[in-house]
Amino acid sequence: MVHHGLRAAGRMSDDRQYAPATLRNRDFILDVLHDLLPMTGVILEIASGSSEHVVHFARDFPALVFQPSDPEPDARLSVAAWVKAAHVTNVRASIALDASEPVWPIASADGIMIHISP
């Protein structure tokens, strides 16, 4: 479940979303990615969701460029908010990508990460 930032009563004033599972699994995933990702290049992330993962991974792989994507506008806003808050420079602006469509808005990538998605 992804929790949206709350804007009422002085709480969260940005667009960051939170997925509780991220804190539990991000380091396990990171360990696996060390064996799978190339040393350099562009990594397309499909179904970025809250984007907590991509920000965490970008910190650990400064020589890679991460291209987040999500068909949902709120998820793309979350990506921008997390990137801004984390001050990572190797994460591109999120693109609208529906993996079920025959044409994708990216010409190529050196790796693809796919999140659990419909």
Q: Which residues contact 9 (CB under 8 A, 6 or more apart)?
A: none
Residues 62-110 have pLDDT tens digits of 999 999 999 999 999 999 999 999 999 999 999 999 999 999 999 999 9
Residue 24 is predicted with a pLDDT of 85
Contacts (Cβ under 8 Å, ≥6 apart) of 50: 2, 16, 17, 18, 19, 22, 75, 78, 82
- Is 116 or 10 the better-scoring residue by pLDDT? 116
* pTM score: 0.84
Would you call 82 helix, strand, or coil by DSSP? helix
Domain boundaries, the chain: 3-114
φ, ψ at 59 (rounded to 5°): -60, -35
Query: For domain 3-114, is the CATH number 3.40.50.1100?
Result: no
